[in-house]
Structure 1
Amino acid sequence: MTQSTAKYDTYRSAFQSLQSGPWAGDPPWLQSMRQRGWTAFNELGFPTARRGNEKWKYTSVRPLASQPFQVALAHNGTSSVAQSEIQRLGVWNTGWTNLVFLDGHYDASLSNLPLESSGLRVTNLADAVTSDGDLLERYLTQQATVVDDGFTALNTAFLQDGAFIHVGEGQHAPAPVHLIFVTTNSQQQSVSHPRTLVVAGAGSRITFIESYLNLSGNNSSGNCFTNAVTEMVLDDGAEVEHYRLLHESPESFHVGTIRVYQGQDSTLKSGSFAMGTAMARIDYQVLLDAPGASCSLNGLYMTTDTQHIDNLISIDHAKPHTTSRLLYKGILDGHSRAVFGGTVLVRKDAQKSDARQTDKNLLLSRQAEVDSKPSLLIYADDVQCGHGATAGHIDEDTLFYMKSRGIDHATASRILIQAFAREVIDTVELEPLRDSLDELFLQAIPAERPQLGGGQ
């Protein structure tokens, strides 16, 4: 145990109550899966002891672990949220398939599912337990195992709802699928554990987006905890385009765990965009397990005040002729802190692997801090691999040049910050999403940017 069991009493009480109550009629395999999750959580706990734990060396979860978060309840009856409120958050698109979850629970009245198709299955996880139980039993927890860490174990213990996407062999999803997870703030100090499972059959293709939002935008004072887990399986030749947006309240906590398995000649293109939370941890692992598998992971994060964001990325080149590209960028202001840990593992037999990773950070204040640790673990001798990391302030020479052309300091700074962010935003192939992200991050850039030479 990493801390006293007394701190888990709230979770224990909720788990026992749900197991003997609403969950009592669930299939035995699901009850067993939850029990394995709870047992693992009791053994692993939260990683509050950071000494000797490289994965959590720069991020403290004590503020999260010390709070008695209550499991978020489902919204009974008529939805308490109007669809216009969801649309106001700026990510809604009527041409997409939209699944909306309020405090971790699916809301059918706010969602629009595609027509039934033998080659495409898109539904919420709670309903899929009945309609697609055999597939869930086969794939759930195979990539994100309960022994992975305490957060994954806790998510599995409270596995209730989320999204299930299954694309059949050779099928192409006709429209992007948007999973919208909204914290409503109707339940203070609540925790939700959404689970997403995506299975892309051989030769299939799909684009899906995960958005984690707060109903009141980034101005809310909701003290909530989202503990999300996403599992993806890409069979041979599958193509998956995946985007993840995190824009919750300034007092919220967010832990996102993503686990991906890739088969032969499969392709993953992923973009992660994050801002707004008190503490966020995104743990993204990809296994390239067959020749020809490739992934491209791009990320952009923005922090201010005392916010903290931690991106832990791991790409495992387990087989030869695999390719990975990793580009993450951070914009830090105030007294905020960012952590980037990028690890590329090339195994002994993974000859002809090609890997590149880059992390760049732009510091807008003297008090902002970044800890960047890109690393390569190479056990093969015929590979092409490289990595790099940079952190610095806005280039004063470029600012001087722009001001000499009549551009004021604030405008010049915003132009340079926006250009820095757009390198990642422009990797988004989905135009409506790209436009929304461009507007979102542009609005978040401070209107006035003091000169750092003045001690800021």
Structure 2
Amino acid sequence: MSAALLDHYQTLAATAPKAHAYQAVGQQRLGLVELPNRKQEAWRYTPLAPILEHQFAAANREAGLLAPEDIAALRVTPADHVCIVLLNGFFMPELSSLPAQTGLEVLDLEQALQTSATGIERLGRLSGECLHLFGAVNAALTGTGVYLRVTEKLAQPLELIHINYSFDSEVLSNPRVLVQVEAQASLTLIEQHAPFADVLGMHNGVTEIFLSEGAELLHPRLQNDSLRTRHLSSLYVQQAASSVYKNTSLALGSAWSRTEFHLDFSGGQAHCELNGFYLAGEQQMQSMHLDVLHSVPDCSSREVFKGILYGQGKA
């Protein structure tokens, strides 16, 4: 199974449309990485069969699957607020709400790469090592996703909705989200993974967040995917001096779910708070993995994670 699965994802990477140079990093790593396994410390407590027993196919951009009314029913922010929709990892402007807002730049990731948008060169700097197979797959297939750049203190929260829904079966979504909050700027980013249909697929997302000096990001996240979905989110955060990052993550849905937090302090007096809650039953598996690196002195972090298991749920 191992060789066949690696061959499958290497073939997907080799045949993927080439959007930018960073994809070559993922392709190279695919030839070097092992499959995740329980002998590796980072995966010791995470059962892997639910994601390794399927050869998921790369998602394609599919127009016409959803209407704006479908999104309105999912939103938690007012209709006049910015709301970004990623369908199977693809930025969908026709489903998003993008009123002009001073101090905020929202670009399709591929567009940002093609136009060399300010800050886009940071893509892959935090996740560049592609720590495991699915990190390499995401890098090799990157070209889908969204780039956010914040240059002022924004009063209104921004909403980001991920939806996995396709007429095809066993689809692999590979969104890449890049967030740059400039010096002294601030943002509240409300992120949710919403259920729309009970489909078998996998979300394989990577988010990179750069907080400049004095920047602040409040980042509540809800994972409520359908109970047949496999969900893997890898979140990377780099904090400059005096920046603040606060994350509260709720994991309720998905048959198999793992959220990875990789946070690094690059300047003094920075602070982060990571809070998490998971609920697992109905043969669900929920996992949250933390890696907080205090690379410089005089920084602070606080982590609180709790969960409830019932039935045959595991964590």
TM-score (norm 1): 0.66
What residue number does 1:325 align with? 302
Alpha-carbon distance in 1 for matches of 2:277, 2:221: 10
What residue number does 1:254 align with? 231
Alpha-carbon distance in 2 for matches of 1:129, 1:114: 22
User: SS in structure 2 opposite 1:108?
Assistant: coil
CA contact (8 A) 1:46 1:61 kept: no
What residue number does 1:126 align with? 110
Residue among 115, 126, 132 paired with 1:149: 132
Alpha-carbon distance in 1 for matches of 2:9, 2:310: 35
Residue among 91, 95, 106 paired with 1:110: 95
Pair 132,121 (structure 1): closer, same or farther in 2 beyond 3 Å: farther
Q: Where does the alignment leave 5 or more consecutive residues of structure 1 unmatched?
A: 339-456
Q: How far is 1:90 from its partner?
A: 5.2
More deviation, 4-13/199-208: 4-13
What residue number does 1:88 align with? 73
Residue among 205, 212, 220 paired with 2:193: 212
Show CA shifts across 1:73-126 (max 9, x none).
1114xx221222223235353142111121111211111223164x42122212
Q: How far is 1:17 from its partner?
A: 2.2
Alpha-carbon distance in 1 for matches of 2:167, 2:205: 19
What residue number does 2:22 align with? 33
Matched, 1:162 2:162: no
Alpha-carbon distance in 2 for matches of 1:90, 1:163: 18
Between Structure 1 and Structure 2, which shows a larger proportion of helix residues?
A: 1
- Segments ≥4 residues shifted beyond 4 Å: none
Report percent identity of matched pairs.
Answer: 28
Alpha-carbon distance in 1 for matches of 2:78, 2:201: 26
Alpha-carbon distance in 2 for matches of 1:248, 1:260: 23
CA contact (8 A) 2:14 2:27 kept: no
User: SS in structure 2 opposite 1:337?
Assistant: coil
TM-score (norm 2): 0.94
Supply the AA of the counterpart residue of 1:154: V
Alpha-carbon distance in 2 for matches of 1:82, 1:296: 36
Supply the AA of the counterpart residue of 1:276: G
What residue number does 1:401 align with? none
CA contact (8 A) 1:205 1:239 kept: yes
Aligned length, in residue pairs: 315
Pair 147,291 (structure 1): closer, same or farther in 2 beyond 3 Å: same
Q: How far is 1:38 from its partner?
A: 1.5
Q: How far is 1:199 from its partner?
A: 0.7
More deviation, 274-283/53-62: 53-62
Query: Please, what is the CA RMSD of the aligned residues?
Result: 1.8
Pair 159,89 (structure 1): closer, same or farther in 2 beyond 3 Å: same
What residue number does 1:50 align with? 38
Residue among 257, 270, 274 paired with 1:293: 270
